[in-house]
Chains A and B, each alone.
Chain A
Amino acid sequence: MDLFLQLTFAGLAIGSIYSCVALAVVMIYQATDHFNFAQGEMAMFSTYIAWTLVGLGAPVWLAFLLAVGLSFLAGVAIERVIVKPVENAPVLNQIIVFIGLLVIFNAVAGWIWEFTIKPFPSLFPADLGFKSTLIGPHHIGVIALTLGVLALVFAFFRFTRVGLAMRAAAANPDSARLVGVSVGWMLALGWGLAAAIGAVGGILVAPIVFLEPNMMAGVLLYGFAGALLGGVSSPGGAVLGGLVVGVLENWVGQYVPGGSELKLTFALILIVGVLVFKPAGLFGRVVVRRV
């Protein structure tokens, strides 16, 4: 029983990171209708920026906020400079641009910071006033912060004018344009927000897996699985999907015979399964398009 609880809590903790990445994936999907394969590498790069700031003597929370802010600006810039020119190009061109971004970020990070692993400080105090062998203070912080980000995203879309404009731009670009919404800038904003949320995910995962250029590769795959499971059009669903994938992954590892070898396979089966049987995910809207 003890092991069951431990695995479940460890799964929730790592799952909340998948959630963060899934949330970022959903943000971009909402804005552009595509998966951004470079999402993980962008998050990794943001984490290196935070790491550099910490190395320069910044307190870790300040480094966190600065890195998230810089990532937002970088996300906007990437949309303006690199993605916009291929906006109306075929899907395949766009995907190739995303994969190119992935390789570039990975190689540049390796070139600047080398491939050796680096410890990254936790944002949360090591002592929360109680002790538990089930879950560490960092893991509690990760879950709390992820839920906080989700709440912010929800509030942003629900209660702000910009959020409303973004939803309008994604749902019906032509009408949105007619009522005065700058659709192009809404897309850039979506990229910025996604980059910022990805940065949060990267900075949360780094203390657990150590910082290195390939840090996000595995995480992104599980993040995709989470996003698909929850529904690529539902931020809340993506977060729940991430948590479910994290926990299921641990349970499969323990309770399915030979499961330790199947953890990755399991994530892939989940991706394929959802795409085949319920493409909108558990909480996503089914989009009907007039052809």
Chain B
Amino acid sequence: MRIKNLLAAGAAIALLAGTAQAADMTGITDTTIKIGNTNPYSGPASVYSVIGKTITAYFEMVNEMGGIQGRQIDFISLDDGYSPPRTVEQVRKLVEQEQVAFLFNTLGTPTNSAIHRYVNAKKVPHLFLATGASKWGQPDKYPWTMGFQPTYDVEGEIYAKYVLENIEDPKIAILFQNDDYGKDYRDGFLHGLGDKADELVVSMLPYEVTDPTVDSQILKMQESGANVFFNITIPKFAAQAIRKSCEIGWKPVHLLNNVSSSVGATLTPAGLECSTGLITALYIKDPVDPQWHDDPGYKEWVGFMEKNMPDADMTDVNYAFGYNVSRLMHHVLDTCEDLSREGIMGCAANLKDIELPMIMPGITVNTSPEDFYPIQSEQLARFDGERWVTFGEVIHAGSR
């Protein structure tokens, strides 16, 4: 571990030293900074495109107020339809024709996977991606790529900590989607349980996205005698699992991954009564939660939304996501002395205790040349039949 740290530090120094020799100022002039982005403005994931729209509105506002360090932001956001081949095409266009300084908040796990190697080979900063996969934090292998939100395995580890500290004699059942997303969550959770994992987990079952239902998995988990259920599923299967366990009268401590925590998209179809008591982990202030309505960060966001995006549906948490990540990018550019590609990457990798307006109090952004995981804490919340109610302290994870 030590050697790894040393190596990483060495790499960072080398990186800084490189700056002194020949700084790559592509996309940056004395008056402009050119930033590239891809978002699914069409296709199956288009519900997330509000993030791209929020960032666009944010930089327009910044430009009206005089830009960043005297430079106007030229934010170019292209549609990739959530289709990896189109992401490759659009990103090549951004890097080779548009000559952007860096890529910011490109959205999606499969889409970013498709450009991961390319942008690192081209040495283009690939910052604050909108995906929860854990592979965006490998500074030794991919020194130009950095994630943003808590990763799936960090979230899994947070649930494990909660179980170990709060549940007496836990017997755990895990249902997971049989792909990278499901395994990230599962592995983080098992890692968090530590040596006791084998003993505590009594049932661990996968499902395929093509399965019609997960009913039979739920029956088996009930039979296993589990009193804790970690539910790693996308909304459709989450709703099935919630309803089925309710129907058969199985009442474990039910941990639901954040991916499916939407009240409208998952819990309402599953039935609000059956959903009562579910636990999930959050890090963004939920705009519909009244506890934030006097909070300065929330008011700042509402002010931005009312002025710049007056027609938006303010209950959609993706607007808050877009605002948070824009504010972070703004902060990095605003405080960075060296606006070359290497310099920007270095600044992004040296963030200490940055608070963002729509991120819960106590959760801050921290990075270092060895730590490319900006947010690694979350707050647990329990569903009371109407909304998520936060409880307990902020839990920090990320021991990996």
CB distance B211 to A218 under 8 Å? yes
A128 to chain B: closest CB distance in Å? 14
Known: A14-B213, A254-B220. A260 touches B205 (CB 8 A): yes
Interface string of A1-21 (1 = CB under 8 A from B): 011001100110010010000
Q: Is B113 an interface residue (CB 8 A)?
A: no
Interface residues of B in 179-225 (CB under 8 A from A): 205-208, 210-213, 215-217, 219-220, 223
CB distance B223 to A3 under 8 Å? yes
Instruction: Give complex CA distance A208, B215 in Å.
Output: 9
Q: How many A-B residue pairs have CB under 8 A?
A: 78
Interface string of A184-221 (1 = CB under 8 A from B): 00000000000000000000010011101000011101
Interface string of B251-276 (1 = CB under 8 A from A): 00000000000001110111100000
Residues from chain A with a CB closer than 8 A to the CB of B215 are 10, 14, 208
Known: A3-B220, A117-B235. A263 touches B211 (CB 8 A): yes
Q: Is A250 an interface residue (CB 8 A)?
A: yes
Q: Is B94 an interface residue (CB 8 A)?
A: no
Q: Which single member of A110, A118, A222 contacts B269 (CB below 8 Å)? A: A118
Instruction: Give complex CA distance A115, B47 in Å.
Output: 9
A283 to chain B: closest CB distance in Å? 24
Known: A10-B216, A117-B265, A254-B220. A110 touches B236 (CB 8 A): no
Instruction: Give complex CA distance A117, B235 in Å.
Output: 8
CB distance B213 to A263 under 8 Å? no
Known: A10-B216, A264-B211. A210 touches B239 (CB 8 A): yes
Residues from chain B with a CB closer than 8 A to the CB of A10 are 215-216, 219
CB distance B212 to A14 under 8 Å? yes
Q: Is B392 an interface residue (CB 8 A)?
A: no
Known: A3-B223, A263-B211. A254 touches B216 (CB 8 A): yes
Interface residues of A in 123-171 (CB under 8 A from B): 133, 136
Residues from chain B with a CB closer than 8 A to the CB of A217 are 210
CB distance A136 to B269 under 8 Å? no
Instruction: Give complex CA distance A6, B216 in Å.
Output: 9
B287 to chain A: closest CB distance in Å? 18
Main secondary structure, interface of A, reads helix
Instruction: Give complex CA distance A146, B213 in Å.
Output: 19
Interface residues of A in 79-125 (CB under 8 A from B): 110, 114-119
CB distance A261 to B206 under 8 Å? yes
Interface string of A274-290 (1 = CB under 8 A from B): 00000000000000000
Residues from chain B with a CB closer than 8 A to the CB of A205 are 212
Residues from chain A with a CB closer than 8 A to the CB of B217 are 253, 260
Interface residues of A in 6-40 (CB under 8 A from B): 6-7, 10-11, 14, 17
Instruction: Give complex CA distance A288, B271 in Å.
Output: 54
B261 to chain A: closest CB distance in Å? 14
Q: Is B240 an interface residue (CB 8 A)?
A: yes
Q: Which single member of B205, B208, B219, B223 contacts A264 (CB below 8 Å)? A: B208
CB distance B206 to A260 under 8 Å? yes
Q: Is B248 an interface residue (CB 8 A)?
A: yes
Residues from chain A with a CB closer than 8 A to the CB of B44 are 110, 115
Residues from chain B with a CB closer than 8 A to the CB of A3 are 219-220, 223
Interface string of B261-297 (1 = CB under 8 A from A): 0001110111100000000000000000000000000
Residues from chain A with a CB closer than 8 A to the CB of B207 are 260
Instruction: Give complex CA distance A264, B236 in Å.
Output: 18
- Write the residues of chain B forming the contact surface with A, with a CB cutoff of 8 angstroms: 44, 47, 178, 205-208, 210-213, 215-217, 219-220, 223, 235-236, 239-240, 247-249, 264-266, 268-271
Known: A2-B223, A219-B212; 15 extra A-B contacts, CB below 8 A, are A7-B216, A14-B215, A115-B44, A117-B265, A118-B269, A119-B269, A208-B215, A210-B236, A222-B212, A249-B216, A253-B216, A253-B220, A260-B207, A261-B206, A263-B211
CB-defined A-B contacts under 8 Å, sample of 26:
A2-B223, A6-B219, A14-B212, A17-B212, A110-B44, A115-B44, A116-B47, A116-B235, A117-B236, A117-B265, A117-B269, A118-B269, A119-B268, A119-B271, A205-B212, A209-B212, A210-B236, A210-B240, A210-B269, A212-B236, A217-B210, A218-B211, A260-B205, A260-B217, A261-B206, A263-B211
